Structure 1
Amino acid sequence: MMGFLIVCMVTVAYAMIAQRLTTSVLTAPMVFIFVGVVLSMTGLLSEHDMEVLLHPVAEIALVILLFLDAAQTDLAALRKRHVWPVRMLLIGLPASIAIGSLVGAVLLPAWPFAAIALISAILAPTDAALGQAVVTNPNVPMRPRRALTVESGLNDGLALPLILFFASLTAAESTADGGEWLVFGAKQILLGPLVGALLGGVGGWILLRAKAHGTTSEIYEGVGALALAGAAYLAAVQVGGNGFISAFVAGLAFGSVVKGACKFVFEFTESEGQLLTWAAFLLLGAALVPEAIAHLTWQMLALILLSLFVVRPLAIWLSLLGTDAAPITRLFFGWFGPRGLATALFALLVVEQISHEFGAQMLHIAVNAVWISALLHGISAAPAAKWYGSKTAGMGDCAETQKVDVTAKPVITRHD
């Protein structure tokens, strides 16, 4: 009981100074991961109990935020006007997985290549909540902020099919019923998007009709949007598809239909979405971080640091070749790709599908990557944003030249 009292008091205290901390080296993920670790190590929170809570809280948070992040994306505007995030998503993300796989093959020679590709894919999604000072800092021009916002809001949903594919290959190599795992993976990847597209599109159409006839209001629209995200997840699971992919695609379809008509989509991410994310990071710190640190090897540490300092920066640099992004902008984008909630939860999802030999190590790598990223990106976010803003002041490639905002608002503070 005392542990939960401390959690509540810390949350209240952080909320009271959160705005001031946006310009400091302290970020919410850093604070709540640290609090979780301390409470676990002192015995005020049971590691087992926190692990039981972590799964539902993290899954609910990811389902809702995948849906809402996707719903805020104007796909037409993204294709026409936003070359930087499109390049980072369509070229940078696959390049990160490919380069990471090559690095992993050197550091983990005993692992099958499918498992190496799987951990590389798990480490690829980014979460700008760990470097919030970047995407909320007015010193950074709007165009780079928006590019990071869109990229980190969409890359976890785009990475998930690859993660499921590599997980199926890894399971197929390590078990006798490999064919069944491949069929399972195919159903997960194919049925999830179909269910999500259907429910998201229909849900958006119903919302517009209800608004046109005055049978709903903004308060109830929010309830409906949350229920739609949950329905997309559960319906996909019911037919054998992946619920997270379904929620992501449902958000894309919903957003394409309503086109910004549902204000709740933006407001939730700024309030209740923050609380869900903070809770997930605290539970992660309490349930998984202590054990992950205890099992951290030099090979794991090298893989994590190379992923942060070499793999993503190189992939992003290559993806932006031929665009108007200046070298300093490419370096800035390459560094600010922190690993967050999606990395940890995706690892949790695949652990049960593959052999314990590799699954446990993957989970330790992912969890260690999250807290190391939270520390490094959190400390560097505010000073780096200030430095980058001063260096790019007046630069043409960072000027705000776009009239249409992909997300229909300046910044998303969870992923973006």
Structure 2
Amino acid sequence: MEHHLSLILISIVALGVFSQWVAWSLRIPAIVLFLVSGVLAGPVFGVINPTHDIGEVLSPMVGLAVAVILFEGGLSLRLHEFKEAASGVKRLVSVGAALSWLLYTLAAYYIGNLSMAVSLLFGAILIVTGPTVIIPMLRQAGLNRRTASYLKWEGIINDPIGALLAVLVFQYFVFAGADASTGSQVFVDLGWAILISFALGGGVAFALGWAFNHIWVPEYLKAPLTFAFVLVIYGLASEIFAEAGLLAVTVMGMVMGNLSIAGMAELRRFKEYITILLVSTVFIVLTADLDPNVLLHLDWHAAALVFAVLFVVRPAAVLLSTAFTDMNWRDRTLVAWIAPRGIVAAAVAGVFGPRMIEAGYGGAEQLLPLIFAIVFSTVILHGFSIGWLSRWLRLSAEPNGVLIVGASPWSTELARALTNELNVQVLLVDSSWHRLRTARLAGVRVLYGEVLSDQIQQSLELNEIACLLAATSNDAYNALVCSHFVTSLEHDRVFQLPMYAADEDNDSKIVARPLRGRPAFHDNAQYEELWRKHFQNWQFYKTRITESYTREDFRRDCPPDAIIIATLFADSTVLFNSAGGTARPEEGDTVIYYAPKKSATERRKVRAERAEAASERVAAAAVEGEGADEAAKPRELEQPPADDSQTTN
């Protein structure tokens, strides 16, 4: 039995993580693969049966996992995001939640043909939009930060509120029955639950923050101690009032996420890894545990109810609750459609559905299959539509920009060439306003301040950044910047100017390799060398690879001492060239390189050679009888920056 259980747990974890990986590779919502994998492993092939294999431990395992997931979600809620979207978020989690409960209840009663008790419970459960589904969707959709904050705040705050409301409705009808005197007690219990949650969650968060900052806890114990306290707070609050633990850990995460705590970056990274693992496994467990027989309880009333929830009730609740706010129509349209349900909704329905059946309420046998039908429908429809809908509404942040840290004459000229000659969105950051002046006058976007400060972190839109270049004169600082941004931009898109190769012989004088970004451009492209070449009047050039001017042609014509800087791909994204790497641009890509300024004679010679080569290709194409017209078209292959003059500080 023990060996069998080990295999089951290994299978669940492996399925969840591999589903994440495959979803990332195929660029599809991971939640869709979770559902497919769970259904195939459970109801279809019967490999996994969590209720039978895991037994009574299953329910508390899911509860603890949801608690950790909600804590990590609260940890990601930053007050500056709330201020940006405050008006809309306040409406969504207050008026929107109340209006949603009312409309979902009415739809369940009149369309779904459920009893009023089950309808009220159904409406309370559907308030939950689920951060376990929203956050992976946002990660893949690439929404701008303002729009993403609406969905993120709504999902994380409404998750415990909806669960608490479902508990109160359940207790009212199951334990109180027809006793009308308990009506006011529901609101009293809700008030106590919120008070307990804020006192426990907020109090422990402040205590941990104080202990961490006063070095009462060593670095290696900060993440494990926080993890332990999340579980303790969840258990303690839930013992005082059922499901209050979810709200308590959410509050704890929100408070800790907005405190200035030493080592918070490592804590966030640890929690993110844990959450990815838990989200993957819990969704596999819940879908594998689905009994196909429950779907037999659904009829045409259920289908009509699911349709009304997706296409009528949710849009109406959002559009009405956010009227006369600062949300624009694009944000309201997207939020009105996107509302996937996930772990908490399924878990609450799985716990309360059977007990409502035992209490004899009409339609209770349909509660669980209805919730699962809505989970499947919203995950699939919203997961596959959020990407194209956000692009159609122009709410997506296309990751095609470049972040350059450190303004020098060379990096300023690079930013100017990328911005003005190639229309690449460049953001140049420096803590010296004097060094930024030339770039600002040249039309380059600049950001004044320390890039690692909290204020700058809050203003950066990393969803728009394709790659980063740390280009200051301090190698250690460049490495620090790269190590900070590597978790957000991926290691292959974080670059720094290379260090001198001579220093590699003495490990005590260089930053450790795992802490550095990728060395950019060329082994001899150090800060001082680029500065020297700048004042030797080197220039940035661009060459587009076409059918008539191939990659081999470019390599033949490119000066031998030129430095390949970056490739602008056909989809308008930019990636810097790494030292030691060989750029392999394809047709339609543009190569940016740095080379000595060409004289007028050299430029005429290059044009003549290219014209001769083009004529030969035209002749060959004419002989073969194909492609002659296209090959004869004149092409502009090389365009140095219009202004060859250099401005120095």
Is structure 2 residue 239 aligned with structure 1 residue 235? no
Is structure 2 residue 73 aligned with structure 1 residue 69? yes
Q: Which of 122, 127, 132 lines up with 2:125 in the alignment?
A: 122
Output the amino acid matched with 2:366.
Answer: Q
CA gap of 1:169–1:157, structure 2 versus 1, over 3 A, is: same
CA gap of 1:304–1:249, structure 2 versus 1, over 3 A, is: same
Output the amino acid matched with 2:172.
Answer: L
Is structure 2 residue 368 aligned with structure 1 residue 363? yes
Q: How does 1:1-400 map to 2 (within 5 A)?
A: 1=4, 7=12, 9-11=14-16, 13-21=18-26, 23-24=27-28, 27-40=29-42, 41-46=44-49, 48-49=51-52, 52=55, 54-74=58-78, 78=82, 82-109=86-113, 111-112=115-116, 114-127=117-130, 129-130=132-133, 134-137=137-140, 140-172=143-175, 175=177, 189-241=190-242, 242-255=244-257, 262-263=264-265, 266-288=268-290, 290-351=292-353, 354-356=356-358, 357-358=360-361, 359-389=364-394
Output the amino acid matched with 2:325.
Answer: T
Equivalent residues, number: 398
CA gap of 1:91–1:240, structure 2 versus 1, over 3 A, is: closer
Distance 2:100 2:214 in 1: 48
Distance 1:304 1:195 in 2: 35
Residue by residue over 1:284-337, the C-alpha shift from the partner in whole angstroms, topping out at 9 and shown as x without a partner, is: 111125233333222222222211211111111112211233323211111111
Aligned match of 1:398: none
Corresponding residue SS for 2:233: helix
Contact 1:134 1:145 in 2 (8 A): no
Output the amino acid matched with 2:47.
Answer: L
**Unaligned stretches of 5+ in structure 2?**
399-454, 464-487, 489-649
Distance 1:84 1:410 in 2: 23
Moved more, 123-132 or 252-261: 252-261
Residue by residue over 1:239-288, the C-alpha shift from the partner in whole angstroms, topping out at 9 and shown as x without a partner, is: 34533233334434544656797335532453210111111111111112
Identify, as 1 or 2, the structure richer in helix: 1
Contact 1:73 1:150 in 2 (8 A): yes
Output the amino acid matched with 1:98.
Answer: L
Answer with 1 or 2: which has the greater Rg: 2
Output the amino acid matched with 2:123.
Answer: S
Distance 2:146 2:262 in 1: 20
> TM-score w.r.t. structure 2 length?
0.54
Identify, as 1 or 2, the structure richer in strand: 2
Contact 1:128 1:337 in 2 (8 A): no
Distance 1:205 1:186 in 2: 28
Residue by residue over 1:41-81, the C-alpha shift from the partner in whole angstroms, topping out at 9 and shown as x without a partner, is: 22222363257364233211211122232344345863675
Aligned match of 1:399: none
Contact 2:143 2:390 in 1 (8 A): yes
Distance 1:62 1:182 in 2: 30
Distance 1:276 1:38 in 2: 19
Output the amino acid matched with 2:372.
Answer: V
Corresponding residue SS for 2:47: coil
Contact 2:137 2:383 in 1 (8 A): no
CA gap of 1:179–1:266, structure 2 versus 1, over 3 A, is: farther
